[in-house]
Structure 1
Amino acid sequence: MTATQRLLDINRVRELFDLRGSLMDRTGGSYEDDPYPVWAELRERAPVHKGTLHQLTGIDDPFAFQGLPESGRPHFSVFTHAACNAAYRDNTLFASSPQAVDFDSAPAVVNSMLSMGGEQHRRYRALVQPSFVPQQAQWWVRHSIQETVDTLIEYILQQGQGRAELNVDFCAAIPVLTITGAFGIAVDRALDVRAALHDPPALLEIIAPIVAARRENPGDDLISVLVRAELSEEDGTRHRLSDAEIYSFALLLLAAGSGTTWKQMGIALTALLQRPAVLDAVRADRALLGPAIEESLRWMPTDPMFSRWVTRDTDFFGTHLPRGSVVHLCVGPANRDPARWERPDEFDIHRAPRASLAFGGGPHICLGMHVARAEMMTGIGALLDRLPALRLDPGAPPPRYIGFYERGATEIPIEFG
């Protein structure tokens, strides 16, 4: 039995990767409606509206969305592709954080590269960017993605029932094992990382010993990359990263790497399984798998909104935005903007390629997007290769899309063979 197989405490996996569970309480995990018709109406009325996305959608629950930033500030939501794209590309006017990063304070995801702007963000991102470029995707596949996918499918086949659940039992494990493996975290601690995502001190108890060990003996992992990296300051001086700087990178990458791709993979799988003719076409012509994944990203991005802070008074697409206000870039409705895509509400894998905003845009475009694509390509491709006649289980409740600020599928019950 491999270490990955020993990890498969399915009950714990299901608890930690439940869209309706405690980790999702702050982002509207219990939301079960389809918000896109309301978002389409809002987009038609104006590019920018005053208010948060959930308020504008008709949800006024002060307890369901505690994850939103800066409740005391004015809030605006942006709905068109053109307006969202313009905001992403102006990182000076639309800052990623209301304050500077302070490495002397307690390590946290918000106190990391995610919150940096301008030259500081460029210099820190440049340290890890080479590990996430498209040419490195196969390193990730060889290093951990392929082995994880193969082990999970073996687990499904060994059950001998011709049935399985794919969203949590398959999709959820792939990203968390990929990112923890890339950090040199032992397989049997991977779920501990997921459990500790909202408890930085607990997460640092796992990370700190690895950082110390890699300072003594660097290896072939991301912590070693950070330990060896030298940061160039604006005055030209160079220095190795401090423990606090490495911790900030680690917290951000572990949170991002383990928390989004599993939901997007579940969305893509559900979209295909609900359209058997499309699934058959992808099975017959594997060149269609990439376009199918890209269409899932456009059609239903798992994170339909990202926030920015306005640094000066400005008029933006017909709306005055005061300095200090929060602007929510609503990529969900922007990705279905009929000004950019014909029949935008249809899931169509044969669309002419056109970039969406599923991974954001501008200087802060998602660092791990190529790894996420590699995870989805490897995972879904392996399912098509190894589970003959893969289809939804007609005797089980069909999957549904739920969640608000983090969208995903419910259980995906399938039959095969």
Structure 2
Amino acid sequence: MENKNILLECESGISGDMFVAALLDLGKEQEDLQKGLETALQSLPLPGFTIRISRVKKAGIDCCDFDVIVDKEHENHDHDMAYLFGHLDSDLEERHEHQAGHEHHSHHEEHHGRTYLEIKEIIQKGTLTENTKELALRIFAVLGEAEAKAHGTTLDEVHFHEVGSVDSIVDIVSAAYLMDALKIDRVYVDTLCEGRGTIRTAHGILPIPVPAVSRILEAYPITISRVPVQGELVTPTGAAILASICDFQKAPETYQIQNTGIGAGKREYEVPSMVRVLSILPSERSADTIWKLECNVDDAPAEELGYCMDKLFAAGARDVHFIPCMMKKNRPGTMISVICSKEQIPTMEDILFHETTTIGIRRCSMERTVLPRKPRSIETAYGSLQVKECTLPDGTIRLYPEYDSMRELAEKTGKSMLEIRKLVD
């Protein structure tokens, strides 16, 4: 089976169970996919549970629905909802059920929460492929780091409460298993929509997006669009999955749709709760293109140029560099080169005109070849290190350590940047 490129359409947000359902729907023609998932999940050392896969309709559209049913309990109709509301007293829980339009049941045996190391042990003991284990742990690491930052602690110390419960572990492991079983290579996100307002939690009223989600969006280049829906559309698990699998490149402008999967959500808002996954084959004529803007200046102080570079990067420039050049009348000058997307051109040009003395900007589009890449976390002798995994045309994998992560580890351990980099070589 050849690797797939998929495009996620998240106009109604995303949660863990929605994503799993969409992938199951995408691979519904693949023999033994569901049976393989059930076998993988049964290998985990978790309390008794079953999964239920069914068909439902959202706004008249046929969708796949994925549920995790924990023994001796009712269904958890929204796997991330308990994370938000904690263990509510019966009066508050009843008020929330009426407000949200669906049942909510807390998992009392999970009240203590699980640490990242406990979850890691559960996943490692399962009969799963290495790719599945690695992706599942990466998703939990993203989630844990966001939780730790939100609560002012560390990944090793943070306790996953409801996102560490049985059904949430099943959601994340299922997502990782299906990504591997379907041989999904590159993941693009079209639009990630999030609602507005606030949400009541066990700790009070919190703004949307909730802290864990906002920390994930802060740490990864995921762009959201706020839509006029009063309620949460993007859950912590959904955001962590996106951060762990996305290619963070613009989707091809032209492509052929090979297959479609639609996963149903549990919440009822003004928009139908579902996420759509398209398996796409990029057109040969849809090359990956970027734009280069250039201008020359010979009368700008270095301080002003440095400030201009900061503003360009803050506005989303892919790259900015200065090149010494010889200009008219034998004056030394600087060529400013900015790499950006077509949509960013007006913003970049506005910054160049306002922050430099240039009176003209050249621009051209360029095709480029980009290696498939994805972010991942690796365990080293000194702790976790964020790297970029790139695949060469011959299939060779290269790891490139992220500067900020190397710096953080160097400062934490007292080791040099050179020693930290050698951990990846």
Common topology (TM > 0.5) = no
Tell which structure's C-alpha radius of gyration is larger.
2
Which structure is higher in RCO with an 8 Å CA cutoff and minimum separation 6? 1
TM-score range normalised by the length of the shorter chain: under 0.3
Higher fraction of strand = 2
Tell me the TM-score normalised to structure 2 length: 0.26
Tell me the TM-score normalised to structure 1 length: 0.27
